[in-house]
Structure 1
Amino acid sequence: MAVITEINDLKRIYKRRVPKMFYDYAESGSWTEQTFRENTSDFDQLRLRQRVAVDMSGRSTASQMIGQDVSMPVALAPVGLTGMQCADGEIKAAKAAEAFGVPFTLSTMSICSIEKVAEQVSKPFWFQLYTMTDEDYVRRLIDRAKAANCSALVITLDLQILGQRHKDLKNGLSAPPKLTAKTIANLMTKWSWGLQMLGTKNRGFGNIVGHVEGVSDAADLGAWTAEQFDLSLDWAKIAKIKEMWGGKVILKGILDAEDAKMALKVGADAIVVSNHGGRQLDGALSSIKMLPAIMDAVGDEIEVHLDSGIRSGQDVLKALALGAKGTYIGRAYIYGLGAMGQAGVTSALEVIHKELDISMALCGKRSVSDLSKDVLLVPEGFSGNWE
């Protein structure tokens, strides 16, 4: 059994066990992948201040995100196709998150449906909504999330149009996937993955197939999804969806101070500083570099979270020290899921928690609520000196 001490240990196992098509889906960005790379590398520019002779006993990483108690301020981000990384992936990830005491966010584009996940957990999870042109479907999807007792709606704002990811096109990853000879040859080498997938009935987009008129199988799905993302999404429509939901709303995909102010105006409970993991606008700044400007604009008036680039507990610490109240991991938990199923997601959370706890202590802090910019050494011009 491999000794897991860092997220990269899980990533190495994940790469061996999961078909290349789905590994590349997770481990890629759009166009040149500049933003995808800088999401992680920009964290390295921030250094930590070591403090000594400070009482480190009685430490706690416990906190709250949108009023919900969490064992550490780290949520599992919505990731499409999670159930193709590992059989019943969304269910396994949700169960791991619940046991660890952190939020799980189910994607609209999940393999396991809202209902299937809700059957397997005892506490509410969050649901992520893509805004579609089929307003009747969106309304029914929101009703299904309410019926499943989801405790927050996470509206993704940065996918009105799909950024081009070269690897997905070359691998034939679409809805449904286009199986090339090379892809089939690779799938045949992933025996454990294949056997698990044969053992589940959850192999389609559970939130869509059977819930949309004219979409009864994977073949119908491609045509429907190609025209569904709402190009006309604006702040008025977001306000309408918020009213339709009637509960806690988190707006994901904020990467500009002006958009953060607009999110505040529509009454969101939180925003997620995010560039979709570098999968949309390549050449945009990393989330961690945009965080200071967004905190300056709205930080005292709305809860600010961050995703895109978190791979360690130190990354979490740095985001919190710059003012975020919560963070999200996507790829980090997907590595664990693909490597070892539910146990792998738990392992990813344990790795991040341990590093957060120890690093916090060595910075002289006993609680995540005590973290502030005084634990950081921020290089001059970190966010860039742009005209």
Structure 2
Amino acid sequence: MAATACRRGRLTLPAFLIALALAPVVGGRADTSFDTGPELGQRLLRDVVRIEARDLAEHGFGLVVGVDRDDVYIATARHVVARRAPAGLVEPERASHAIAVSFCALPGAPRQLAAMLDGFDGADDDLALLRAPRPSAYVPELKALAPAGKDGVGDQVWQLGRESDCVVVPTPGVIAGRPDTRHTVRVDLHGALGGASGGPLVSGYGIVGLVKRSDNEVIRAHAIAALAARVRALAGPPFLLGEAGNIPPGDPQAAVADLTETLNGYLFAARDLNTLLRQEIVPRPTFAQMVQRYNGSVNRFKAARDKYDGTLQRNWPAGTLPQWQALRERLWRIHLRFFGLNGQSTTTITGTERAPPPVREQMAALEPELAGLQSDIARFAEHLGKRSIDHAELSQ
């Protein structure tokens, strides 16, 4: 079956590139993701819980920072679960004995009773650490935190959770300054109001802080790096959250990472499939697995194909975008060679576990083009990587 398709339109792959996906893709996310801040926040709601201290008539949110077999460990703002005496009065802190947590990742699941963890002294910084039973169905998202230095002044951040809702609050705030000596980060957000205490703030790079208090103009949050260090210093509870591994599309480094991973992914998948089809014996399970990988690499290429044209034009020398356009056209022509295999050949391969001689000849003829593509990809990746980009100078 001959193949004709619009390069920018939707392409329906032939039978051998779709029907042989005999098993679903298994595994986690790619090493790097390229979500916007709200998209990343939506994923990280899995780590958020809603907290009610019923005997104090308080409510807020918390961030799951670790789990073990039986329990979850939750960081939150201390005033959500404990009440201090008014200024000028010397009275002991009144901790809640009726703390209920509900997991944003498990809507409708029973609430769990939680207790403040002894040994975590966070009163002076309005921080508390809770322990609650771990629901059997609960698995946290461990790729969650912004890397060090990715909480720059002027970056947008989003609240996860407000009032009674497990949501990414759509209006972003803006980081107004570096953490102070108490590790407090100020975020400007008109109309912030309350109801988000204890919940995380997320940027396009990951969680940057834990909300401690807010008013109509400003949110004050505890820097996530300082909170992580504090929890890790304890002997008992684990702190399991690591870097989110996300680069938002507005960061030129997203173009470097996404295009490099996309091109390498396609090259490896195409070479593996080409090598297999140059052999006489083609085991059916191996064929199915390699076709599935190839399909995934093509879909990722289609998603990234035009995505960074503006970024390359704005942030790299003038010849970079034409170089990328030529490279992607060459890759697409190679793809159409795979796409052009006819249905009879693929039926023979799957039925006999052998590649017909014409298929082996086509794949042998394709090998020099794949070698040329590999060289072009290496040159383009080197060209992309040579440009050092300072986070403070990013164009959004």
- Relative to the length of structure 1, the TM-score reads 0.30
Identify the structure with bigger relative contact order (alpha carbons < 8 Å, sequence gap 6+): 1
Write 1 or 2 for the structure with the bigger share of helix. 1
Write 1 or 2 for the structure with the bigger share of strand. 2
Q: Radius of gyration: which is bigger?
A: 2
- Relative to the length of structure 2, the TM-score reads 0.30
